[in-house]
Amino acid sequence: MNIAAHPAFRGTSGLDLESCSKGLFIGGQWREAHAKRRIPVVDPSTETVLAHVADASLSDATEAVDAAATAAPGWASTAPRRRSEILRRCFELMTERADSLAKLISLENGKALRDARGEVAYAAEFFRWNAEEAVRIVGDISIAPAGANRIIVEYQPIGVCVLITPWNFPAAMATRKIAPALAAGCTVVLKPATETPLTAYALAALYKEAGVPDGVVNVITTSTPGQVTAAMLADPRVRKLSFTGSTTVGRTLLAEASKTVLSCSMELGGNAPLIVFDDADLDTAIEGAMVAKMRNAGEACTAANRFYVQSGIYDRFVAALTKRMEALTVGVGISPETECGPMITARAVAKIDELVKDAVGRGAKVVCGGNKPAGAGFFYPPTVLVDVPGDADMAHEEIFGPVAPITKFETEEEVIARANHTEYGLAAYIFTSDIGRGLKVSRQIEAGMVALNRGLVSDPAAPFGGVKQSGLGREGGSHGVLEFTEPRYVAVTL
């Protein structure tokens, strides 16, 4: 099976798709896994196999770390301007080939092509932003308070990094780590999600073309992520783990990383509240709610997971949201008309179905959707539920699908308490015409990111990340690159 032969890529794709299913990408070369095992990659829209990728075991992982460690001194001492130019070239190549990249993402992830195009633009932007950061990693110098010496601080690359990414943004979750790591002068081993490895491999070929030296970025796929990453994290040459994924796996990895006292950045799960006050502009709230809920068909860590709507606007909000949700075109991701593609796996659909049944069993009412369809593809319809009680499982767990659970509230104090009643703290959405109130409430919500009168927070120029059990550290903005550095302090008497 070769993805290059897929009808979506008839003519020229501009991507090295032949190499995607050739093997692991280690030291700038493609090669089979030592055990010669392979993993199928399934199109969630049709359940057909798109390709097979190599299945790395421990010896492959060690070779990937070897390659990253060998390349590390050369890359760390490459002039920041040169690193910047290479990163800029990655941005340009991704932008030139955006159409093919979007098709590849849509095929392996199932997301609507329009969402995939948005993801490519977002993912490429991390290279442009970090190309600009690469030449602006500045230290400082000060006089010690006692006056005896100078304090010189400079930021050095932290070293070899292991990067682990999820399937929901196959390009952006990787570039959000790779671009700042490379800007800081680090080398990396990326382990993408098993469901969506093709984009990571296609991008690896593109980085090489852009001038990233061999060994600076290595990519391995494996069906045994626990064993393979534990081995890499135990390797004393590895100095950083940057993980994006579920809180459950994040906890396991933090325990692993403690054995070698690794620096960890953790972008974990969310349970975002979306709050609509009576004084909100209804059109703005609906527009924002559709983006916050339905970007990526709800498969986003930032997705609105709990809707709290004040009693005075409640009926109008429910009616308008239901109308928009019912009108969405559900279909095969790669079809240009599709607005809501399939979920990633049959398991993901079963989980959503379970959460909806649990909520209904506890008194919630289905306003639209709510039924798992028959037929090929991992589909779940856009669904609106009302009167969802606080003890429903979906009030505490990520739905990760196109389901909007709505409940009514009366007062500001009540909704703040309900919004904060979760172990998560990634994103939150607030809609109100009173900006003063919006800012006041945003400061009281326990979340790393708040969107005020809009449905999108993600921006490569802003610090992305969560509080509580949604994570540690930030990606993007000027914070992102510093996660891949360590300050070195020199005391000198002058």
Task: Examine residue 426 and tell whether it contacts ligand NAP (CB under 6 A).
Answer: yes
Residue in 164, 340, 343, 364 binding ligand NAP, rule: CB under 6 A:
164
Bridge partner list, 266: 243, 472
Residues 86-145 that bind ligand NAP (CB under 6 A): none
Helix axis angle for 113-134 and 80-96, nearest 10°, is 160
Task: Examine residue 249 and tell whether it contacts ligand NAP (CB under 6 A).
Answer: yes
Nearer to ligand NAP, 46 or 252 (CB): 252
Cβ at position 448, least distance to ligand NAP in Å: 9
Beta strands 365-368 and 272-276: pairing type? unpaired
Residue in 16, 235, 267, 483 binding ligand NAP, rule: CB under 6 A:
267
Q: How many residues bind ligand NAP (CB under 6 A)?
A: 28
Angstrom distance (rounded) from CA 268 to CA 274: 19
Neighbours of 161 (CB within 10 A): 29
Residue in 110, 159, 166, 476 binding ligand NAP, rule: CB under 6 A:
166
Nearer to ligand NAP, 195 or 235 (CB): 195
**Which span sits near ligand NAP by CB under 6 A: 58-66, 246-254, 354-362, 437-445?**
246-254
Question: Which x/- pattern, by CB under 6 A, does the window 289-308 give for ligand NAP?
Answer: ------------x-------
Nearer to ligand NAP, 84 or 222 (CB): 222
Burial of 325 (0-12, 13-18, 19+ CB in 10 A): buried
**Do residues 191 and 222 make contact, with C-beta atoms less than 8 angstroms apart?**
yes
Cβ at position 401, least distance to ligand NAP in Å: 12
Q: Which of 301, 340, 398, 483 is catalytic?
A: 301
**Which span sits near ligand NAP by CB under 6 A: 139-147, 199-207, 267-275, 484-492?**
267-275
Name the residue among 206, 207, 209 with its Cα closest to residue 188. Answer: 207
Task: Examine residue 262 and tell whether it contacts ligand NAP (CB under 6 A).
Answer: no
In this structure, the chain runs to a length of 494
Residue in 41, 67, 193, 231 binding ligand NAP, rule: CB under 6 A:
193
Task: Examine residue 345 and tell whether it contacts ligand NAP (CB under 6 A).
Answer: no
* CB-based burial, 172-196: b 16+ in 10 Å, e otherwise: bbbbbbbbbbbbbbbbbbbbbbbbb
Active site residue 20: no
**Which span sits near ligand NAP by CB under 6 A: 73-81, 198-206, 249-257, 431-439?**
249-257
Angle at 154 between CA 492 and CA 267, to 5 degrees: 145
**Which span sits near ligand NAP by CB under 6 A: 100-108, 123-131, 224-232, 335-343?**
224-232
* DSSP class per residue in 385-418: EES--TTSGGGTS---SSEEEEEEE--HHHHHHH
Helix axis angle for 113-134 and 172-184, nearest 10°, is 10
**Do residues 174 and 189 make contact, with C-beta atoms less than 8 angstroms apart?**
no
Angstrom distance (rounded) from CA 150 to CA 143: 5
Nearer to ligand NAP, 13 or 196 (CB): 196
Active site residue 368: no
Angstrom distance (rounded) from CA 175 to CA 460: 10
Residue in 194, 420, 433, 478 binding ligand NAP, rule: CB under 6 A:
194
Q: Which of 133, 256, 267, 483 is catalytic?
A: 267
In which residue are the tokens 């109130």 written? 437
Task: Examine residue 425 and tell whether it contacts ligand NAP (CB under 6 A).
Answer: no
Name the residue number minimizing CB distance to ligand NAP. 245
**Contacting residues toward ligand NAP, per CB under 6 A:** 164-168, 173, 191, 193-195, 225-226, 229, 244-246, 249, 252-253, 267-270, 301, 398, 426, 466, 471
Catalytic residues: 267, 301
